[in-house]
């Protein structure tokens, strides 16, 4: 059993209550078991790691519902000149920055594959809990269709990132199978 105590901060718990000064959060095996004024928390005497919040704020982790952890932008020339493996190495830096910004859960809206998610889940790299989209859907000529007007196709050739170009309901069904979620979206 391992305990962590985050102490000496002002707690904003995210439930709409007033901030609690001189607060602490007690964590046991990565699960919060107590939070509030430090004097109200029964603090274990052994197997305790203490983190001093240094009179800063203690907040719940934030959620970012639209990130692209594999890249900082989508300039076409980057797609032409950057080796695909470089995106994975860049993602390590971007995921650490995400954690340091207080975001502990994120929905990657395209390019991170299941290997990125499992590397985080298995503790190989530091990053937020991820919900991944893998390949974003786009129409022909949309922002994730990498075919150029010159006739060149600069799509990534990577099995973990399938082509997400779909036009119309039938192509969406063909690409992703018939599901109630897809059917609800297409029926609107």
Q: What is the pLDDT of residues 96-126, one digit of tens each?
A: 999 999 999 999 988 898 999 999 999 999 9
Q: Name the class of domain 3-58.
A: mainly beta
Q: Within 13 Å, how many C-alpha atoms sit on residue 40's CB side? A: 11
CA–CA separation, 79 vs 70, rounded Å? Answer: 12
CATH H-level superfamily of 61-134 = Amidohydrolase (3.30.110.90)
Least confident of 68-82, 130-144, 151-165: 151-165
Q: What pLDDT sits at residue 139?
A: 86
Domain boundaries of the chain, sorted by first residue: 3-58, 61-134, 139-188
Q: Would the pTM count as exceeding 0.75?
A: no
């Amino acid at each position: 059993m391992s305990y962590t105590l985050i102490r000496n901060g002002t707690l904003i718990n995210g439930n709409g209550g007033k901030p609690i000064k001189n607060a602490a959060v007690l964590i046991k095996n990565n699960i919060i078991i107590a939070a509030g004024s430090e004097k109200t928390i029964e603090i274990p005497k052994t197997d305790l790691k203490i983190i001093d919040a240094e009179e800063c704020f203690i907040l719940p982790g934030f959620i970012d519902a639209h990130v692209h952890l594999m890249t900082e932008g989508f300039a076409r020339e980057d797609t032409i000149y950057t080796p695909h493996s470089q995106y994975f190495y860049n993602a390590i830096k971007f995921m650490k920055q995400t954690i340091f910004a207080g975001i502990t859960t994120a929905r990657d809206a395209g390019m991170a594959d299941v290997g990125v998610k499992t590397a985080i889940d298995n503790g190989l790299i530091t990053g937020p809990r991820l919900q991944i989209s893998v390949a974003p859907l786009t129409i022909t000529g949309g922002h994730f269709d990498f075919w150029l007007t010159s006739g060149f196709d600069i799509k990534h050739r990577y099995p973990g990132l399938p082509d997400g170009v779909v036009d119309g309901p039938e192509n969406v069904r063909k690409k992703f199978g018939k599901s109630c979620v897809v059917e609800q979206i297409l029926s609107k």
